[in-house]
Structure 1
Amino acid sequence: MLYSLFRLVIVFLVCLVIYIIIKKINRKRNIKDAKPTHTKTYRFVLCLGALAFISILGTALYWFPFENLFIDFSSPEDVFKYTANGYIDKVIYGDNSCMIIYSDNDSIYNTMFVAKDNDSYKIVAYPQYSTEHIYSQKYWNADIYTINKTGDTYCFLLLYTHDDNVNISDNLGTEYHCFKVTENSYYFYGYMKGYDENYSVYINS
């Protein structure tokens, strides 16, 4: 996926520049003439500072999709091809965004989000949506995802049951999409309109 590849290239180039700068600083400082203990401390501080900078830069690049500034994706599928691997199982559309359910070689039914911007689509990275854990029981739990920019809200439910005809509903009339993960576990995803603290979910009722 190009999203990660571009960031790896940027981090590599920054590492190369930092290495060249450190070598020049060492030469100007005439480090060979310094005391051995001072030399080791100096090099340790330089390397530690460079490592910290690269770590912060890598995290910032991953969390900030700078491509949104100059790329307009024509569809959620185009965003997926650019940012992820695998194949799409389902696209759930909200008013100004969508949730993509996808699988890859490592796991199944993962989620990612895409924001709508007029007639185009934009990448949504982790800091641009929030997660709220609203239910946690022995046999099921539920999470709410809210896209910060658009306010669209989605729900994910994990349910353990031996009932093959399980049904999920709520007080908002949400349409839930069911995915069977194992023989007795199910994932449910849905776009919610009007979510608030009075939200209630019903299982087989």
Structure 2
Amino acid sequence: MSLSHRYRNFGGPKAPEAKESDANVAVSEDQQLEAFEKGYQAGWDDAVKAQADSVTKISAEFGQNLQDMSFTYNEALSKLTLSLKPVLTEIVDKLLPDMAQRTLGPQIVDQLMDMIKQQPHQPIEIVVAPSNVETIQSLAEDKLSEPFEIVTEPSLGDGQAFVRIGEVERSVDLEAILSGVREALTAFFHETEQETDNG
């Protein structure tokens, strides 16, 4: 009896099995390609999301840093401004009045020169505080060719005067200007203090 039934036949390929194998290989390749595409797309989506998250985080941190810098700058500016208050107050209270008194004479002369052009050969009257008489007298003698009269008025301040030529009168009020500067300075520092208190 032959032993061929005991051994497997490795002879020719079987057609039906080959078709099944090709189909399995084709399905397997499609599945692998689909799995690769899904994996690639998932990786791409993760990378895009990570980048978007990173940009959002950086933007938030940058915005916070800008806000902190702005607050720090404004706080420093407020403190610097408030530290200047005593110096500026001293200038307005002491230096400017002295300058105003020294510039009162030139202001009066300027006003008079303008008025003389409009009304020549009219009597000139200069009304000033008693403390300014000597200064205005010597300045007017140097600058004016027309005769003039100086009248003292105790109610006038050191930075105030009236000039009259004929019926026309003008006032020189440097004290009003100084008062305006004082009020503006007070308002400015009040507002700065309010901003500092409110943060």
TM-score range, shorter chain: under 0.3
Structure number, greater radius of gyration: 2
Identify the structure with the greater helix proportion: 2
Identify the structure with the greater strand proportion: 1
TM-score of the pair, normalised by structure 1:
0.25
